[in-house]
Amino acid sequence: MEMTNRKKGVIAAVSAGVLIAVTGGVFAYFAAKDGKANLVRVGEDTISVDESFDQPEQTQNFAYRKLVKIDNTGSVPCFVRVRLEFSDSAVQSAASFSSDKQGADDSVTVDDDDIDFYPADPADDNAYAKHLPEGWEYSTDDGYYYYTAPVAAGESTSALISWVKMAYEDVTAIQAHDIYVYAESVQTVDPDTGEDYADPELTDGYKTAWRNFTT
Amino acid sequence: MERANIKRVALIASAAALVLIGSTAAFLTSSDKGDNRFTVGKVDLTLDESSYTDGQKLSAGQIIDKNPTVSNKGNVRELFFVEVTVPCMEATFLYNDGTRIPPANIPTDPAAADYRQLGEIYNLLADGGTGGTYKKNAISAPSNTNWEISCNSGTSDQEGWHFITKSENQKSYDKVPGFRNGKYSTYVFGYNAWVEPGGRTVPVFDKLQLRSIVDADIPGGTLTQVQVNAYSIQADALNVQTGDRNGSQGSYYTDADVREIYKIIENKKNG
């Protein structure tokens, strides 16, 4: 048998190949995702005056309980300041304050030797403003009593006063009166820079916080 | 007759060819075996914030640590994108000197309520590396304000993030229970380099700050959600035109490159 130059049979070769699956556009890329829902609350700066007050029956000389402190009822720390105002300046001249005997069961008479009272009028040479309990300072510039430490949320200042003594010159001077307790607070953080004036390494941070607030 | 001869020749030729094949096979065959193993690439990531504590209560102006970084948990090189959602609220916003910022169409003799306007209530603050050099503010802040939405930016010789786009009210995340619904802005950032498996980006930014607002306009205790979403995509075999850079060390993607790549992410999210 001889091969001719005619057309020979063709040997078909089949080769196996890799089939490339082509999918549509971008969905062929591998991708992944992760996420975090960061919850942040807007803080609240609120305070309330906490006062233990025993309504007295007035005489020419008497003392009554008036324990005043300020509660931070908000959710962020704050600085506190207080003004004590009398409804009548004549009554103020007959009044004096003490921060002693803060116990709920404590009692006081005008003759007690174990309690110190000082004149309520800040202008007096021996004024209560010069004998404040620890943590409080009086500013002659604006007439406020400043609590120098930051008050954390849910906490309170120490008592500014605990007792009031009235000593009228005579019985005709006795009159009904009010002692107004007005309190303000400011957040400890500078709203522009974020600096925290409650930082214990700062000296008189409360002054800076109040100065920035009022200017 | 001729046809029969042709047919016979064809059959002989095919038989010969078959024999030839068989003979050839007897001399030249050999065999070998190679195992070609292919591992399917896996793209995965985690979003971490090592310095952030959830649920904090902020005073106006207060700054807290918040440093989202993205880590490659897959086994291929990846490119990363991050979305940050900033809540907006109706409030009275303040200049640095404490005066109120008037809205665009404030009346001639405005009452206090006329100063309320819709605005973002947080700043995103990037440290920007040594000296704060490598940071970029994504917004044009009004003068006399400290408004800032910044990222630790990438450059031609530094890894970092490019700001890509900002959108409003993009509903792209699930709100947690108790979240106060409202409007929000979403900022998107893209990383200028691919990250090896096990590697990590620099933080998108480093801190969160509550802007100066009159507190009476936003009830205390209002819960806000600053959602951060991270996306990754394989770094290789992307059919994207990225100029002469390839995202490797020293060949960081430009701002335009990152935007081009982000289109793939957008299409996948919306697909």
B243 at interface of A, judged by CB pairs closer than 8 A: no
Task: Please enumerate in sequence order all residues whose Cβ is within 8 A of that of B152, keeping only pairs 6 or more positions apart, or say none.
Answer: B126, B127, B128, B129, B134, B135, B160, B161, B202, B203, B204, B205, B206
**Residue B241 — pLDDT band, cuts 50, 70, 90?**
low
| pLDDT(B125) > 80 | yes
The single-letter DSSP state of residue B40 is: P
Whether chain A has a CB inside 8 Å of the CB on B41: the answer is yes
- The C-alpha atoms of residue A126 and residue A107 are separated, in whole angstroms, by 24
> Cβ contact (<8 Å) for B42 and A189?
no
The count of other CB atoms within 10 Å of the CB of residue A5 is 5
Question: Would A33 be classed as within a structural domain?
Answer: no
Q: Residue A16 — pLDDT band, cuts 50, 70, 90?
A: very low
Residue A24 falls inside a structural domain: no
Residue A130 lies in a domain: yes
For A13-17, B120-124, B159-163, B230-234, which range has the lowest pLDDT when averaged over its residues?
A13-17
CB atoms within 10 A of CB B101: 18
Output the pLDDT for position B27.
56
The answer to whether A40 contacts B55, with C-beta atoms less than 8 Å apart, is yes
**What pLDDT was estimated at residue B217?**
66
A-interface mutation test, from B36, B59, B100, most A Cβ less than 10 A away: B59
- Above 80 in pLDDT, residue B35? no
- The answer to whether position A120 is within a domain reads yes
Residue B151, pLDDT above cutoff 50: yes
Beta carbons of B226 and A34 less than 8 Å apart: no
Q: Beta-carbon neighbour count of residue B270 at 10 Å?
A: 7
**Contact between A29 and B268 (Cβ < 8 Å):** yes
Q: How far is CA A36 from the centre of its chain?
A: 30
Label residue A15 by pLDDT band (50, 70, 90). Answer: very low
Verify whether the Cβ–Cβ distance A40 to B234 is below 8 Å.
Answer: no
The candidate with the shortest Cα–Cα distance to A182, out of A20, A48, A67, is A48
For A160-184, the pLDDT digits (tens) are: 999 999 998 888 888 888 899 999 9
d(CA B144, CA B101): 10
Q: Is residue A10 part of a domain?
A: no
Confidence of residue A186 (pLDDT cuts 50, 70, 90): very high
Q: What is the mean pLDDT of residues B57-62?
A: 89
Tokens of A196: 């925290």
B10-24 pLDDT, tens digit each: 455 454 444 444 444
Chain A: closest CA distance from residue B34 (Å): 15
- Closest-CA distance, A178 to chain B, in angstroms, reads 30
Q: Which has more pLDDT, A184 or A201?
A: A184
CB within 8 Å: B52 and A193: no
A33 contacts B231? CB cut-off 8 A: yes
Residue B57 has pLDDT above 50, yes or no: yes
Residue with tokens 């075999």: B237
Q: Which residues of A touch B268 (CB under 8 A)?
A: 26-27, 29, 31
β-pairing, B45-49 vs A61-72, is unpaired
Q: Which residues of B touch A41 (CB under 8 A)?
A: 55-58, 221-224
Determine contact: B22 vs chain A, CB below 8 A: no
> Testing the interface with B: which of A2, A27, A38 to mutate, by most B Cβ within 10 A?
A38
The answer to whether B177 faces chain A, any CB pair under 8 Å, is no
> Quick one: pLDDT at residue B24?
44
Q: Would you place residue B75 in the very low, low, confident or very high pLDDT band (cuts 50, 70, 90)?
A: very high
| B12 contacts in chain A (CB < 8 Å) | 1
Domain boundaries, chain B: 45-270
- CA B40 centroid distance within chain: 23
Of A31, A42, A75, the CB nearest to B233: A31
Does residue B64 sit in helix, strand or coil? strand
CB B80, CB B231: distance < 8 Å: yes
Q: Cβ A29–B264 below 8 Å, yes or no?
A: yes
**Which residues, other chains included, contact A140 with Cβ-Cβ below 8 Å and sequence gap of 6+?**
A122
Which H or E element spans position A206?
Answer: helix A205-214
Per DSSP, chain B holds a count of helices (H) and strands (E) of 2, 13
CB A47 within 8 A of CB A72: yes
Average pLDDT value for residue range A47-63: 87
Going by pLDDT thresholds of 50, 70 and 90, the confidence category of residue A25 is: very low
Top pLDDT among B59 and B12 is at B59
Indicate the number of domains in chain A: 1
Would you call B224 and A41 a contact, using CB atoms and an 8 Å cutoff? yes
B174 and A CB contact within 8 Å: yes
Confidence of residue B179 (pLDDT cuts 50, 70, 90): low
Residue A126 maps to a domain: yes
b/e string for A127-145 if b means 16 or more Cβ within 10 A?
Answer: bbbeebbeebebeeeeebb
A22-31, A83-92, B172-181 — most confident range: A83-92
When CB atoms are compared, the residue of A27, A41, A187 closest to B60 is A187
Q: What's the ipTM?
A: 0.72
pLDDT at residue number A117 = 94
Contact B220/A4, CB-based, under 8 Å? no
Three-state SS sequence of B113-161 = HHHCEEEECEEEECCCCHHHCCEEECCCCCCCCCCCEEEEECECCECCE
Burial B6-35 (b: 16+ CB within 10 A, else e): eeebeeebeeeeeeeeeeeeeeeeeeeeee
Enter the tokens of residue B119: 């605005």
- B162 CB contacts (<8 Å, ≥6 apart)? B151, B153, B154, B189, B190, B191, B192, B253, B254, B255, B258, B259
| Six token digits for residue A170 | 């005579």
pLDDT at A121 over 60: yes
In chain B, which residues have their Cβ closer than 8 Å to the Cβ of A208? none
Give the domain range for residue A127: 47-214
What integer is the mean pLDDT of B162-177? 72
Query: What is the per-residue pLDDT for A172?
Result: 85
Q: What angle do CA A180, A181, A184 make, to 5 degrees?
A: 135
* Main-chain phi, psi angles of B89, to 5 degrees: -145, 160
For residue B216, give the DSSP letter.
G
Cα(A164)–Cα(A180) distance, rounded to whole angstroms? 13
Q: Is A202 exposed, middle or buried (0-12, 13-18, 19+ CB in 10 A)?
A: middle
A121 within some domain: yes
Reported as a pLDDT band with limits 50, 70 and 90, residue B181 is low
The span from the CA of A198 to the CA of A209, in Å, is: 9
Q: Is the dihedral of CA A195, A203, A119, A151 positive or negative?
A: positive
Question: What's the average model confidence in pLDDT over B71-76?
Answer: 94
